[in-house]
Amino acid sequence: MPGIVPIALFFSEKNFIDGHCINFTNELRGSLSLFGAGFLAPYFSQAVAATTALFFYLVMIKVPKKPKRVLALLSLPLIYLIMLKLIDYSVVNLFSYCY
C-alpha cells in the first residue's frame, strides 16, 4: 500500500495511516442498542445459522412430488453446524478487519 500513504497524507487522514480496526460484534451491538437490543449481538451467528437451517427445512418440505420430512429433520443439525462455523469464520475474518 505504498501509493495510499501519500494520498492519506494529502487528505490528512491520520486514522488511515495509523490503522483502525473494526470489530463486527461491537459495531452490531452499537447498531442494535438503538433499538434496545444490543445484548443480542453475541448471538448473531446462532440466529443466522438457525434461520438458515429452518429455511432449508421449509424448502425440503415444499419440494414438489414427495415431501422429504425425514431427510429435512435429519439434516437440520448438520446445516445448523455448517452455517454456524461459516458465520463464525466470517465474523472473525471477513466482517472484522483493520485498515
Residue 44 inside a domain? The answer is yes
Instruction: Name which of 21, 54, 51, 25 is nearest 38 in CA terms.
Output: 25
Residue 23 inside a domain? The answer is yes
Which range marks the domain in which residue 73 is found?
16-95
Largest CA distance in the chain: 65
Residue 4 inside a domain? The answer is no
Residue 81 inside a domain? The answer is yes
CA distance 61 to 55: 10
Q: Work out how many domains the chain is built from and give that number.
A: 1
Residue 41 inside a domain? The answer is yes
- 47 φ, ψ to 5°? -65, -45
Residue 54 inside a domain? The answer is yes
Residue 7 inside a domain? The answer is no
pLDDT tens for the chain, 99 residues long, are 454 544 444 444 444 445 677 888 888 888 888 888 888 888 888 888 888 888 888 887 777 666 677 777 778 888 888 888 988 888 888 887 776
- The cell for 27 is 459495531
Residue 38 inside a domain? The answer is yes
The reported pTM is 0.64
The pLDDT value recorded for residue 67 is 65
- Burial of 53 from C-beta contacts in 10 A (0-12 / 13-18 / 19+): buried
- 97 φ, ψ to 5°? -155, 165
